[in-house]
Amino acid sequence: MPARYEDLLSRTVALGLLAFMLTGRFVAWPITTFLLFVMAEAIHRGAAQRGKDIVVPGILRLVGWWQTRKEDEVVSPWDIPLGHEPGSHRPVVENLVSLGSVGIYATTQNGKTSLLYATISHLITHLSPAHFRMIIVDPEEFDYRIFQNIPHLELPIARNREEALRVLRWVQKEMSRRGDLFRQVPKKYLCNSIERYHSLNERYRLKLPDLPVLLVVIDEVQKIAEAGSDAEKILIDLAKRGQKRGMLLWAATQRPTSDVMSGHIKSQLTARMIGHMSSKSDYHLVHNVPKEVYTQMEEVPGRFMLQTNKWTLFQGRWVPKDDLEAIALRVSRNVPAPSWDKIRPETLPEINEKRPWAGSNESKTTRLKAWLMQYTEKPDVSEVIAHWDMSEPTGRKWLNEVWPDVAKEKGLVQ
């Protein structure tokens, strides 16, 4: 081999090994080495300018590819790829649990439901039913039928307002149950999140039940949660207290006016995904979207702005219908789809249409007192309301009347 080729080869191998050490990617280094060898040969033959035109853009593309791949790495099973940034095509990946409760807003045919499809398909593919559960409210009745057999469903898909209210009452009771379990962790440990609950439960072998993360997806939320309704009150409570208990709300609607989604719900949401709106004033109805942000929006299906602690413009993921059907079929159970018509009351004892706060005053006092005995400090009135399904004035009145006797009996009063 001529000396100049031996020199070129040794330099190229050295550069290739350096690239391998910097990137840590076994597949990337032989390709990089080959390209560097070709570039070195082109430069050696005197095509300096041509080599420069190849080398500089090539290195920039390689660096950009490496950074993009690094950002695309999912470091947690709860990471969900929402899409990519327009122009740079850098992926937008967010942690489901960290996002908390999310509002999704976009006009018809602008990708709102498609974004939910893509998110659901990713979650049911990458998470087991033991760790992740879902509740779907689909007032349109037919949009989410392909998911009706997945094992991740906690309850059958709610198809109308009546079924949605049953679902939300169950959610309310589940929040209360999880709060009770948190209180069973010894007081010397700080237990204020679902992650902390599982960590303490495993580390100290507390033998408490596992609590899967529960995602409540409500499409066209305006059809089931009118202003002042029981459904709205439960959604406000879920958005406010659910995240720490591992219960997340994703509520989607077309136009977030006050008569569609009240400011009480919107103010409790921790993140927002905003698609194209019919007018500029609608952007301010969501969350005072800055002008420099919404002016970047184009009427492109699937284009969204994500608002967390910053604003991120992204093109939402889109999964073809054939792929959605294949994913749902692959993870589905080979059993008939659950239906509200076939559910017996004893199957879901938590869901009970009868209000539990009934009977004589003496009976009410006895039951409330027995329930309050589990507390070592006066609970918030919202917990009383959630557990006993009563109005706020009633809950506050009874809590103030009964708690002093409980505190005295437990020796909590000095």
Q: Are 76 and 173 in contact (CB under 8 A)?
A: no
| CB-neighbour burial class of residue 135 (10 A; exposed 0-12, middle 13-18, buried 19+) | buried
Q: State residue 354's pLDDT score.
A: 36
Give dist(CA 44, CA 51) in Å, integer: 9
- Cα dihedral sign for 28, 33, 36, 42? negative
- Which carries the bigger pLDDT value, residue 299 or residue 131? 131
Give dist(CA 291, CA 257) in Å, integer: 19
Q: State residue 8's pLDDT score.
A: 58
Q: Got the DSSP string for 144-206?
A: TGGGTT-TTBSSPPB-SHHHHHHHHHHHHHHHHHHHHHHHTS-TTS---SHHHHHHHHHHTT-
- 370-404 residue pLDDT tens: 778 777 788 888 878 877 778 888 888 999 999 99
Q: CA separation (Å) from 379 to 152, 217, 324, 357, 403? A: 32, 29, 45, 18, 9
Does the pLDDT of residue 362 top 80, yes or no? Answer: yes
Q: Give the confidence band of 52 by pLDDT, cuts at 50, 70, 90.
A: very low
Both tokens assigned to 115: 């974004």
Using alpha carbons only, give the angle 195, 157, 174 rounded to the nearest 5 degrees: 35
Using alpha carbons only, give the angle 126, 240, 258 rounded to the nearest 5 degrees: 105
Q: Got the DSSP string for 210-275?
A: P--EEEEEESSGGGT--TTSHHHHHHHHHHHHTGGGTEEEEEEES---TTTS-HHHHHH-SEEEE-
With residues binned 3-state (H G I as helix, E B as strand, rest as coil), the percentages for the chain, rounded to 5, are: 50, 10, 40
- 59-95 residue pLDDT tens: 545 444 444 444 445 567 899 999 999 988 899 999 9
Does the pLDDT of residue 242 top 90, yes or no? Answer: yes
Give dist(CA 113, CA 144) in Å, integer: 10
Q: What is the mean pLDDT of the chain?
A: 79
The H or E element spanning position 364 is helix 361-372
Q: What is the mean pLDDT of residues 29-42?
A: 60
- Cα dihedral sign for 253, 257, 262, 264? positive
Give dist(CA 136, CA 149) in Å, integer: 12
Q: Give the confidence band of 348 by pLDDT, cuts at 50, 70, 90.
A: very low
Beta-strand pair 102-105/132-137: unpaired
Tell me the fold of 79-342: Rossmann fold (3.40.50)
Using alpha carbons only, give the angle 230, 372, 398 rounded to the nearest 5 degrees: 55
Q: Got the DSSP string for 60-103?
A: HHHHHHHHHHHHH---STTEEEEEE-TTT--EEEEEHHHH-SEE
Query: Structural domain boundaries of the chain?
Result: 3-72, 79-342, 361-409
Backbone angles phi, psi at 153, to 5 degrees: -70, 125
